[in-house]
Amino acid sequence: MELTWVAVAGAFLLASFVKGTTAMGFPLIATPMVALLVDIKTTYALLVLPNILMDTFQIARGRLPWLLWRRLLSLLAATVVGVFLGTRILVRVPERFIYLALAVMILVFLVTVYLDLRIKVPPRWEGSLGPAVGFAGGVLAGITNVVGPLTALYILALGFEKREFVKAVASIFFITKVSQLAAISRWGLYTVEILRWSVGLSTVALLAFWVGLRVQDRVPQETFRRILYVLLFGMGVVFVCRSVA
């Protein structure tokens, strides 16, 4: 059992480092890795706290993005609704379907990267498309614990510059995870042991996250991305096999 938790900590280190260097990727990487070691519900419970802490840090760097929040208000509200619906779906479906959903999320993300999709969203579409993306992203987050690929594609399509992109993604992730925390708290998973491990793993995550921020400009980004994509592809294959086994 102790070896299992060592492996879980390793997954947190890798995923948090990636989030520090790229502003996203923590649930996308940590969820499938940790789910290979413990059950799905425990995985979700362990990941929520460190995710909230890292997103809070990213939002708080510099000025608070009040105008950005106002622009994304309808998307954020729809995300909350989607998270609660997705969580209700999660507790009613077999784990094999969740594994398959995780694999699909990973592989779809890799396909969009490979195709180098660059979509533009006209300003007049934001009023209707934003809530739809928020709701869909919330449902996916509730079921798979991963919202990053869909959210990132939409925010990129809005044409935000780098700093705004980081704060927009972090704000959406923060709302998603706080909603998820409220939704999964009814499962009764937060025992003393789980809380102890969650706090300890959060410390590990924040350390790796800080290191990722420090080296973000020193690591060749293209080389790092290629290694990450190979790792994600391997995870996707593993989850497809687990879903059909």
CA distance 192 to 47: 16
Mean pLDDT throughout 105-112? 75
**Model confidence pLDDT, tens digit, residues 185-209:** 877 777 778 888 888 899 989 999 9
Report d(CA 14, CA 140) in Å as an integer. Answer: 23
Contact of 44 with 146, CB cutoff 8 Å: no
Residue 151 burial by Cβ neighbours in a 10 Å radius (0-12, 13-18, 19+)? buried
181 or 228: which carries more pLDDT confidence? 181
> What is the extent of the structural domain holding 143?
2-240
pLDDT of residue 1: 54
Question: CB–CB of 202/86 below 8 Å?
Answer: no
Domains identified in the chain, total number: 1
Whether 54 maps to a domain, the answer reads: yes
Q: How far is CA 166 from the centre of its chain?
A: 13
The tokens describing 168, both together, are 């927009």
Q: What is the pLDDT of residues 26-65, one digit of tens each?
A: 887 888 888 888 887 888 888 888 989 988 988 887 788 8
Q: Is residue 245 part of a domain?
A: no
Measure the CA–CA gap between 90 and 22, rounded to whole angstroms: 28
Q: Rounded to whole angstroms, what are the CA distances from 56 to 29, 53, 224? A: 19, 5, 25
Q: Is residue 86 within 8 Å of residue 135, measured between CB atoms?
A: no
If 0-12 CB within 10 Å is exposed, 13-18 middle and 19+ buried, where does residue 172 land? Answer: buried
**Helical H segments across the chain, by residue range:** 2-22, 26-35, 40-60, 66-71, 73-90, 95-115, 126-144, 148-157, 162-184, 192-215, 221-244
> Rg (Cα) of the chain, in Å, rounded?
17
What's the confidence (pLDDT) of residue 236?
Answer: 75
Q: Is 152 helix (H, G, I), strand (E, B) or coil?
A: helix
For residue 132, give the nearest of 74, 59, 217 by alpha carbon: 74
Backbone phi, psi, residue 157, to 5°: -70, -20
| Residue 147 falls inside a structural domain | yes
**Measured on CA atoms in the order 121, 123, 124, 130, is the torsion positive or negative?**
positive
- 62: which residues sit within 8 A by CB, 6+ positions away? 163
Q: Is residue 59 in a domain?
A: yes
Higher pLDDT: 166 or 131? It is 131
Amino acid (one-letter) located at 188? G
| pLDDT (average), residues 82-94 | 84
* Angle CA 24–174–12, to nearest 5: 50
Mean pLDDT in residue range 167-186: 87
Whether 93 is covered by a domain: the verdict is yes
